[in-house]
Chain A
Amino acid sequence: MFDRDVWQEIFNTLKTNKLRTFLTGFSVGWAIFILVMLLASVNGMQNGFTGQFNDDATNSIFVRPGTTSKAYGGFEAGRRIQLKNDDLEYIKQSFPEDVEYISARYYANTTARYKSETGSYSVQGTHPDHQAIEKTLVVAGRYINEADIINKAKVAVIGRKVAEDLFKDEDPLGKFVEFNGLPFRVIGIFTDDGDDNAERRIYAPVSTYQRIYGNTNNINMIALTYNPTYDLATSLEFSSRLEDLMKRRHKIDPDDQSGLYIFNYAEAFDNINSFTSVLKAIGIGVGFLILIAGIVGIGNIMVFTIKERTKEIGVRKALGARPSQIVNLVLLESVFITSISGFVGLLFAWMILAAIGPTIQTPAFSDPSVSLSVVVTATIILIIAGVLAGLLPAMKAANVKPIVALSDK
């Protein structure tokens, strides 16, 4: 294979047919280019989707109450379900093995004021566990702790935007800010990778807010994360157990779809994963189809080359070239054209991705790139493609009768 004579011959044929070689090589290079770009785009989409969800723990489940649509257990349809503190405790005690973190959410809005600055923000009353569920990043101070809940302390963890709006250049930690006229001490500042709107939010102890709003035990939502070692099947099984239990507790028909909403991230995540893998399959499929066109092109040119060189091949055979040596020559030439042009396509795709990939950061599409495994696969595909393209012409060449070369009177 690393014979100087063989390479001399290959280079000679390529040299004498520069344009033809270029055009055929181009089709394969283009095919690889498209294949890599497609895969990179699918990758980018996947990155985008994953980025959207990374904001929350991927093993989280949200329980939201609704309104029943079916009569059940002596109650009429249309009953509003209300979650209370008891529900949280009940879940905690019923699934000690399954639940990792659990927190209530109590929604409220507030007009916040500090000195002359005011602003309107949404407040979420939560438990300390909420930090882990929402993956809240506290950059200064601390999050709500157990003592705040017990003491119903008037403390608040404010978003970075809130801090910017109200406090300007001042350090908000320890300062008092008025929520609807009541003073809350700022104990922490958080950021959120998800979006800016999340940073316009305020967290406060759930117990504090329940007391401000008329000594209620009501909560709007329960957020929890399950044991992170669970796989998809186990997590789905857990959320259905949770659903059954909560429906029974609130006397909701097991078939009622609107009484209680249980949202399992794993499910959504799984949907996205299957979506992107379908996209990936389509990308690979389309890429391959284009590559086949390229292979046919190479095969075509090899047939021509051999036709032109019939006489030469005949002479070689008369001089003692074995059929296998002729096959080798043709195959090597074909693999050589395919590989070189494929690599050029690969290189181009890679350069474009390296140049513009990192600059693309939209929610649904970010950092399109290809992994080493894709590059390695593409290389293997190229070599196989080269062999396939050269195979038929090579057999044809090997079958050239030396008589043809002799009888050229």
Chain B
Amino acid sequence: MIEIKDLHKSYKMGSNSLHVLKGINFKVEEGELVAIMGSSGSGKSTLLNILGMLDGADSGEYTLDGVPIKNLSETKAAQYRNKFLGFIFQSFNLINYKSALENVALPLYYQKVPRKERQEKAMKYLERVGLKPWADHLPSELSGGQKQRVAIARAMAAEPKVLLADEPTGALDSTTSYEVMDLIQKINDDGNTILVVTHEEDIAHMCKRIVHLKDGVIVEDKKVEQVRAEQYV
């Protein structure tokens, strides 16, 4: 599903440049649930940005579902993001004047799905994250866990190939964190490929595979026994 070969990325900081990613080789199969771990500055967010086509790599190859991702125009990148990727953010990033339903429907809007169909689909995904009764609520009327579930529904609405979650539990207490992880696990059980960036050990162990990043290189890549979040809920 995802294949990365010898990925390099550096940032210019005034006169000197900061080498953030120093040759990453990495492969994700369909249906995997991968945790990317590392301390801050290890390059995990940069890697996620490149995977999410929000940033370009300096050198190296990136293939997503057989499509080489290289030299994309803004418009093309927007199309690919819409088609291939679903984002889940630490701070949810819901649009605060849109109801839960409208938030979920937004990626479909950018896919030019007709309004009625959009609403129906969005409702289906809200139901899946257990928030159908809250469909008409604004984000400000929802709890943190509910917001993240709306965000997950939104990420899934466009039926992307890969879900990218950047510290999805970073802003949540542990109980809600486990609820969200339970949801992510269930989505993964349905065959979706998910990448989770986290620095929390227990969250990482709820995935099936952990990739450790340190100073721009992968220092460890291991399959783990998945801890089901269900038992903590």
Residues of A within 8 A of B (CB): 4-5, 8-9, 12, 16, 311-312, 315-325, 398, 401-403, 405-409
- Quote the shortest CB–CB distance from B9 to chain A (angstroms): 12
Rounded to whole Å, the gap between the CB of B163 and the closest CB of chain A is 13
Question: Contact partner of A315 among B75, B93, B111, CB < 8 A?
Answer: B93
Give 6 A-B contacts (CB < 8 Å), ordered by A residue. A319-B158, A320-B158, A322-B110, A403-B49, A403-B55, A406-B87
Secondary structure of the A side of the interface?
helix
Instruction: Verify B90–A409 contact, CB threshold 8 A.
Output: yes
Cβ of B45 and Cβ of A406 under 8 Å apart?
yes
Give bound CA distance, A322 to B89, whole Å. Answer: 20
- Taken together as a complex, chains A and B put the C-alpha atoms of A317 and B81 apart, in Å, by 8
- Nearest B-chain residue to A5, judged by Cβ: B109
- Do the beta carbons of B97 and A321 come within 8 Å of each other? no
Number of B interface residues in the complex (CB < 8 A): 33
**Across the interface, which residues of A come within 8 angstroms of B223, CB to CB?**
none
- Docked Cα-Cα span, A407 to B91, in Å, equals 10
Which residues of B have CB within 8 Å of A320?
78-79, 81-83, 107, 110-111, 158
**Chain B interface (Cβ within 8 Å of chain A)?**
45, 48-49, 52, 54-55, 74-75, 78-79, 81-83, 87, 89-91, 93, 95, 97-98, 102, 106-107, 109-111, 115, 154, 158, 166-167, 170
Question: Given A4, A5, A402, A408, which contacts B91 in the complex, CB threshold below 8 Å?
Answer: A408
Q: How far is the CA of A407 from the CA of B49 in the complex (A)?
A: 9
Could you tell me if B110 and A406 are in contact, using CB atoms closer than 8 angstroms?
no
CB of B146, distance to nearest CB on chain A (Å): 18
Closest to A16 in B: B97
Query: Is the pair A325, B93 in contact by a Cβ cutoff of 8 Å?
Result: no
In contact, A322 and B78 (Cβ under 8 angstroms): yes
How many angstroms from the CA of A163 to the CA of B80 in the assembled complex? 93
Among B52, B78, B93, B102, point to the contact of A321 (Cβ < 8 A): B78
B54 in contact with A318 (CB, 8 Å) = yes
Chain A nearest CB, measured from B10 CB (Å) = 15
B78–A323 touching, CB < 8 Å: yes
Docked-complex contact B75 and A319, CB < 8 angstroms? no
Whole-angstrom distance between the alpha carbons of A406 and B83 in the complex? 19
Name the CB-closest residue of B to A314. B93
**Would A12 and B74 be within 8 Å (CB), given that A319-B82, A325-B110, A409-B90 are in contact?**
no
From residue B145, how far is it (CB to closest CB) to chain A in Å? 19
Question: Knowing A12-B97, A16-B97, A323-B75 touch, does A406 contact B166 (C-beta < 8 A)?
Answer: yes
Q: How far is the CB of B102 from chain A (nearest CB, A)?
A: 8
Contacts of A398 in B (CB 8 A): 74
Q: Could you say which residues of chain B place their CB within 8 Å of the CB of A321?
A: 78, 110
Question: In the complex, what's the smallest C-beta–C-beta distance from B75 to chain A, in angstroms?
Answer: 5
Q: Contact at B90–A318, with CB atoms within 8 Å? A: no
Please determine whether A318 and B52 come into contact, CB atoms closer than 8 angstroms: yes
Nearest Cβ distance between residue A326 and chain B, in whole angstroms?
Answer: 9
Chain A contacts for B109, CB-based, 8 A: 5
Nearest B residue to A317 by beta-carbon distance? B78
In the complex, what residues of A have CB within 8 A of residue B111's CB?
320
B74 lies within 8 A of A318 (CB) = no
| Contact residue among A8, A324, A401, A406 (Cβ-Cβ distance under 8 Å from B89) | A406
Q: Are B55 and A315 closer than 8 Å at their CB atoms? A: no
Question: In the complex, are the beta carbons of B93 and A405 less than 8 A apart?
Answer: yes
Closest Cβ neighbor of B157 among chain A residues = A319
How many angstroms from the CA of A325 to the CA of B111 in the assembled complex?
A: 12
Q: Which residues of B contact A319 (CB under 8 A)?
A: 81-82, 87, 106-107, 110, 154, 158
Docked pose: A385 CA to B110 CA in angstroms: 28
Contact of B95 among A312, A317, A323 (CB under 8 A): A312
- For B93, B107, B167, B170, the residue with the greatest tally of chain A CB atoms inside 10 Å of its CB is B93
Point out the residues of chain B lying under 8 angstroms from A406, CB to CB: 45, 48-49, 52, 54, 87, 89, 166
If the complex has contacts A403-B55, A406-B45, are A323 and B91 also in contact, measured as CB distance less than 8 A? no
The answer to whether B115 and A4 touch across the interface, beta carbons within 8 angstroms, is yes
User: Are B78 and A403 within 8 A (Cβ)?
Assistant: no
Shortest CB-to-CB span from B65 to chain A, Å, is 16
Greatest chain A CB density within 10 A among B54, B89, B107, B110 is at B54
Nearest-CB distance from B100 to chain A (Å)? 15
A108 to B91, CA, bound (A): 99
Chain B residues whose CB sits within 8 angstroms of the CB of A322 once the complex forms: 74-75, 78-79, 110
Tell me the complex Cα distance, A406–B55, Å: 11
CB distance from A405 to the nearest CB of B (A): 6
Give, as a whole number of angstroms, the nearest-CB distance from A373 to chain B: 40
A408 CB contacts on chain B under 8 angstroms:
90-91
